[in-house]
Amino acid sequence: MSLMRQIGLLVIGLVLASLLGSVAVSTASVRLLLQTELQMKNSDNAQALALVLSQQQGDPVLMDLQMSALFDTGYYQSVTLRGADGKPKVERHGPPALSHAPAWFVALTPIVVQPGVAQVSNGWNAIGSVEVSSQSAYAHDELWRCVTRIALILACVGGLAGLAAFSVLRRIRRPLDDVVAQAHAVVEGNFKVVPESEVPELRGLTQAMNAMVQRLGGMFEAQAEQLHVLRIQAHCDPLTGMSTRKHFMAELSSALGRDEGPARAGLVLLRLRDLVGLNQRLGRPAVDEILLTIAKAVKAYPDRVRGCLAGRLNGADFALWLPAPDVAGETAHALNEALRASLPAIGNGIQLALSAVDLPRHQAVGQWFGAADAALAQAESLAGFAVVVSPPVISAAESGPAGLAGPAGMAQGEQAWRAQILAALKDRRGRLVAYPVLDKAGHLAHQECPLQLQLEQGGAFEPAARWLPLAQRSRLTAEVDLLAVALALEAIAADDLPRCVNIAPASLLDGGFVARLRESVFQSPQAARKLGLELAEGAAVAHFDLLLEMGRQLRPLGVKLGLEHVGAGLAEVDRLYQAGLDYVKLDVAVVSGVSGDAARAAFVRGMVVMLRSLALKVYAEGVSDAMDVQALWDCELDGVTGPWATGRAAAR
């Protein structure tokens, strides 16, 4: 039983005890008063009757008449005249009057009154005595009326006192509820401060809780700073702060493997020529300044455009990946002009070679660098600051405006693509492909379920990479995501397996999306408890408030919320502990090669510790190497997904 309920019952008990006690005391007082008055009535009436009878000079007839007159005009039970020998001479008796008070009340409050007795004489001679006994039923009636009035008044007073008491209890309970909610929020990783209570005894409690929450928030921020240092050590070049070749290649592989983004992108390679000769002529400090100048120019693009990747591949080579079509050449020329203007001020003889390629995103990483390296070799054959831009490569599977990817052999315009996507959504021609997320024991944590659409009636189901770019441009991602959620709920209801689907960040910008999503989920309350919704890390950075509102709407229904492709961008989420997340999935660029790199393993372990402090589960995505999987188990991750997990699930 809760403390407030115990206090409430105690207050009710005290009020009832007070009421009963007051009624009992009042009843006893009124009963004693009525009993005293009745006794005085008997005595006074007996004295008056004795005086009247004494004046009749002993005449029996006159005395009988006087007694009858008194008996008939009063509420008497008996009037008796006794002789000097004590024997009754004249008697008048009436039946006991019936009381209107309840029988139990009469039995509980008896009124016992002795008869009034007075001496009757004739001059100096004693004739006898007279006894007068009044009816007590009328006293019980009056006592009952008094008691009911008193009880009613006391009940009203008690009710008002009870309301006042509960009002005070509610005032006390409010800060207690705030503290309880604050404690639950801390368990969920949400460090919020509550207003201080106006009750002096509770003010100290809220102050202590707020101080604890602020301290925990400070610890989290310190942990995040430490994690930032570990990330730089694991992923960044010590001189320039850019991604190392290993991390850049992992990031690029991850970006190329995602469904979202344009169908084509660009890669720019930059090489500082004759690095050894520059070191000999200008010295190490000057060369370091040259490299820092180049790094600053290259890093300006990821700082301005989300999704850009930049890295230092080796001592003299830099790379910049641009998630947009037909901009690589322009970017290479802009970099060339900017560096041509700034580098000569550091020293003479500085030369750069730049190459730019524009390729479909489904090309392998090796093909990207093969084309870029070939163009870079041509640039190196030229003197000074040279740029070579390879002509765009259009694959057979590409068609539509801006190289929009689509099913092979389906050359058509944007309007036709939009119509096909709308038709597929209207007819619900979609299916979910399941990829398992396994824990250390090999048990299924949930299934990742990307959506595929059948764009042509009776045709093949196409992966999202082929049609999602146009769906984003046509603002159809909300409809796509609603279909994916509906299919996931139906599948969960059928086999009771937990599933998660991806939600495009663009869908959050649709004003009615969350309300429609909540309505869809609300229709399947049982399946909703095993549904997960995942958004890319960038959604938490760019649309944090929308993500927060989505969690407020859906998490009470049992839906789990997670972030995928989590990496360095997580540090940009300044209120991560308020996001209301259930889990995160570390990007393949973060976990790839963790088994052979102690710095990367330390960074992953640090991320796990920080995220666990927010009560989040941590998974790794895109894992293919068994050694990496074992290293991730050593880092205490909750689960992994990717080729390794798919192969293990298939083997079972």
d(CA 586, CA 569): 11
User: For residue 241, is it within any domain?
Assistant: no
Q: What is the overall mean pLDDT for the chain?
A: 84
Q: Are 404 and 263 contacting, i.e. CB atoms less than 8 angstroms apart?
A: yes
For the chain, first and last CA: distance in Å? 49
End-of-domain residue from the set 339, 359, 389 = 389
The structure tokens listed for 387 are: 């740029």
C-alpha–C-alpha distance, residues 339 and 14, integer Å: 86
Q: Looking at the domain assignment, is residue 11 inside a domain?
A: yes
- Pick from 587, 300, 640: nearest CA to 446: 640
| Per-residue confidence (pLDDT) for residue 574, from 0 to 100 | 57
* Whether residues 369 and 512 fall in one domain: no
Is residue 77 domain-resident?
A: yes
The predicted model scores a pTM of: 0.66
Domain region containing 268:
264-389
Q: Of 313, 329, 188, whose CA–CA distance to 616 is shortest? A: 188
Q: Which residues contact 108 (CB under 8 A, 6 or more apart)?
A: none
Question: Which CATH number do you get for residue 321?
Answer: 3.30.70.270
The residue from 111, 144, 160 where one domain ends is: 160
Residues 332 and 431 in one domain: no
Cα→Cα distances 42→29, 51, 138, Å: 20, 14, 14
- With beta carbons less than 8 A apart as the criterion, state whether 278 and 350 touch: yes
> How far, in Å, CA of 477 to CA of 507, rounded?
6
Does residue 157 or residue 172 have the better pLDDT?
157
In a domain, 80, yes or no: yes
Question: Phi, psi (5° rounding) for residue 346?
Answer: -80, -40
Quick one: which of 434, 431, 479 has its CA closest to 451?
A: 431
* 117 φ/ψ angles, rounded to the nearest 5 degrees: -125, 135
Same domain, 383 and 441: no
Calpha distance 652→112 (Å, rounded): 94
Does 572 share its domain with 433? Answer: yes
pLDDT (0 to 100) of residue 16: 82
Alpha-carbon separation of residue 238 from 24, 242, 243, 303, 397 (angstroms): 89, 8, 9, 19, 41
Query: pLDDT tens for residues 307-341?
Result: 899 999 998 999 999 988 889 999 999 999 999 99
332 with 475, same domain? no
Contacts of 7 (CB under 8 A, 6+ apart): 169
Q: Per the domain annotation, does 448 fall within a domain? A: yes
Answer whether 553's CB lies under 8 Å from 519's CB. no
Alpha helices in 444-524, H assignment, sequence order: 464-473, 477-495, 505-508, 513-522
- Residues 439, 376, single domain; the answer is no
Q: 128 CB contacts (<8 Å, ≥6 apart)?
A: 81, 82, 83, 84, 89, 119, 120
Is the same domain home to 289 and 363? Answer: yes
Residue indicated by tokens 């995501």: 481
Query: Considering the chain, what percentage of its residues have pLDDT values greater than 90?
Result: 33
Contact predicate 542/535, CB 8 Å: no
Q: Quote the pLDDT of residue 402.
A: 39
Could you give the 3-state DSSP secondary structure of residue 318? strand
Residue, of 3 and 291, whose pLDDT is higher: 291
Helix, strand, coil content of the chain in percent (nearest 5): 55, 15, 25
Domain boundary among 357, 389, 421: 389
Query: Per the structure, how many domains does the chain have?
Result: 3
Whether pLDDT at 404 is above 50:
no
Are both 363 and 303 inside the same structural domain?
yes
Nearest to 448 by CA among 266, 164, 646, 652: 646
In the predicted structure, residue 72 carries a pLDDT above the cut 80: no
Tokens of residue 15, six digits = 């009020």
Classify residue 87: in a domain, yes or no. Answer: yes
Where is average pLDDT lowest: 551-555, 560-564, 571-575? 571-575
From 57-71, 193-207, 422-436, the region with the lowest mean pLDDT: 193-207
List beta partners, residue 77: none
Residues 433 and 448: beta-carbon distance below 8 Å: no
In this structure, of 178-187, 385-394, 533-542, 579-588, the range with the lowest mean pLDDT score is 178-187
Instruction: Tell me the C-alpha distance between 375 and 270, whole Å.
Output: 11
Radius of gyration from C-alpha coordinates of the chain = 47
- Convert the pLDDT of each residue in 269-307 to its tens digit: 999 999 989 999 999 999 999 999 999 999 999 888 778
Q: What pLDDT band is residue 198 in, cutting at 50, 70 and 90?
A: low
Residues 368 and 426 reside in one and the same domain: no
Same domain? 142 vs 15: yes
Is residue 6 classed as helix, strand or coil in its secondary structure?
Answer: helix
Q: Judge if 373 and 425 occupy the same domain.
A: no
Instruction: Let me know if residue 598 belongs to a domain.
Output: yes
- Among 573, 504, 560, 510, which Cα is nearest to 535's? 504
Answer yes or no: is 146 within a domain. yes
The answer to whether 162 and 179 are in contact (CB under 8 A) is no
Characterize the bridge pairing of strands 435-438 and 639-641.
Answer: antiparallel
Alpha helices in 326-432 (DSSP H): 328-342, 365-380, 414-426
Least confident of 36-50, 384-398, 535-549: 384-398
Which of 259, 245, 645, 250 minimizes the C-alpha distance to 463?
Answer: 259
CATH number at residue 84: 3.30.450
Under the banding of pLDDT at 50, 70 and 90, the label for residue 408 is very low
* pLDDT band with cut points at 50, 70 and 90 for residue 180: confident
